[in-house]
Chain A
Amino acid sequence: MSFFSPPPPLALAPPPVGLLRRSFLKFTGLGVAGVALAAAGCRISKDEETNSVEVGKHDLAVLNYAYALEQLEGAYYEKVVAGFYAGATAMEKDLLTDIRNDEIAHREWFREVLVLKKVPRLEFDFSSINFTDRRSVLTTARTFEDLGVSAYNGAGQLLTLSPFLNHAGKIVSVEARHAATIRNLLAFGSFADSDVVDANGLDVVRTPPQVMALADKYFVTKVKVDELPTH
């Protein structure tokens, strides 16, 4: 893509476009300053030798970290829905399909909003999961959802721009809804058990390195978050 061609999302913008486009360009870090950003070569490319990507630092890196996690969740549920586990009820299929669609929407939204500076499509390794087994599928889903909630809770303070924080906030409560739902499918009433909600009534918060360490085995393409601040 040429740096000077309009980013694809604008084609979908409704009129009146002028003012909104300007804001959108600012939101995505494009516009005049964005041209400078692009010219500086800030694309994130894969290190083929180590099969890894480095997200960098600052707000766009935090969003890329979130994008990587949404890719993980999206790929996982795509596989779950492609062939449901034995004995899946109509309700379970319906809920898991909804969750898959939410995760795809998150993933594709990040892909578009991060116009230029984004990590590539990542590869995942789900070989540790038995997709024909209900418990294996749902416990993995629970892990991913709880992990996602803790990741967004930890990422909020790393974002300096309010629009980015606001949109991360719009996503994290949906992840919390997923987490509660998966938990209720596994054991009704476990939606907010004490393993995820502490004595003060607070949910889990994790730094990017803590999250990536827990998710590491699923990433074929490794995502390095070492340069991100942790507080």
Chain B
Amino acid sequence: MNLTNLFDEIARVDPEVYDRVDARRGVINRFARMGSRLAAAAVPVALGGLFNKAYGQQLPTNVLEVLNFALSLEHLESRFYQTAVGTPGLVPAKDKITVIRDHEMKHVTFLQQAITSAGGTPVAEGKYDFTGKGTFPNVFSDYKQFLQVAQAFEDTGVGAYKGQASALKSSNALLTYALQIHSVEGRHAAHIRFIRMVNGYAKVKPWIVGDDNTKGTPTERIYQRESDHRQVLINLRGIGGYDVGDAATSSFDEPLHKDEVLAIVKPFLA
């Protein structure tokens, strides 16, 4: 039984299943055209010097767009943490916000190099309004509010990388690098949430429980899918005879699509 052929067959018969789950027609079309092993050979690229050395060709525009989209988010996060850490008296040293700042700065450099090496032009850093047009007026004077915005950025980052994963399938290297950044953002999100939890600043866990009671608040769009307790029709409530409680929603993080991410960060662009 050749599973590769089987999947090929499925994709040809019914591409809508991919539409529903990942909503990126380009991926499906490439898939249908090239067959299911596209990940192995379709657009062979790697990062840094590997690009030119191994292949000497440019990345497709849409992949470069994904990388620049990721870079624009990393710029935002990087400037946010640099500003916070540079603000006297805001961030307690013991909370290691500097670790997160350093990672975001490295992500910026890494993505800039990747895009340049691939023949693209890295987007420049933007101008930001971290108050979110006045929604978080004390973001750099009230540590609790800073953490609230930090959590919003980290959870958005996690959802954003997740939403782009399948758009990077044409390159094993790029997909893997994106996943490696994605899980670091997940660690950051958990840490920010952990700080808020142990200090009693907010009723949150390191993981996202339902929509975290954000309905009607400025951050609700980040958690718009998180209340879903079904994954591909499988109900996680009572799954396998187990009462998993809040894990019916917390056990799976949900993706955010590009337009959703842009809408979420829009108030933070000056």
Contacts and interface: CB of A to CB of B under 8 A. Distances in A.
A28 B10 CA distance: 11
Nearest to A24: B233
A79 interface: no
A163 B187 contact: no
Contacts of A113: 231-232, 234
B177 interface: yes
Interface residues of B, number: 87
A179 B86 CA distance: 28
Interface residues of A, number: 82
Contacts of A176: 182-187, 190
A6 interface: no
Interface stretch (B61-69, B96-104, B128-136): B96-104
A26 interface: yes
Contacts of B177: 202
Main secondary structure of the interface of A (DSSP, over half): helix
Interface string B185-224: 1111111011000100000011100000000000000000
A177 B234 contact: no
Contact of A58 (B4, B183, B194): B4
A149 to B, nearest CB: 5
A213 interface: no
A123 interface: no
Interface stretch (A136-144, A186-194, A218-226): A186-194
Interface stretch (B115-123, B137-145, B243-251, B260-268): B243-251
A19 to B, nearest CB: 8
B124 interface: no
Given A174-B251, A177-B207, A201-B106, A184 B191 contact: yes
11 contacts: A22-B14, A23-B14, A26-B14, A33-B13, A101-B242, A103-B251, A169-B161, A177-B189, A180-B206, A184-B194, A205-B176
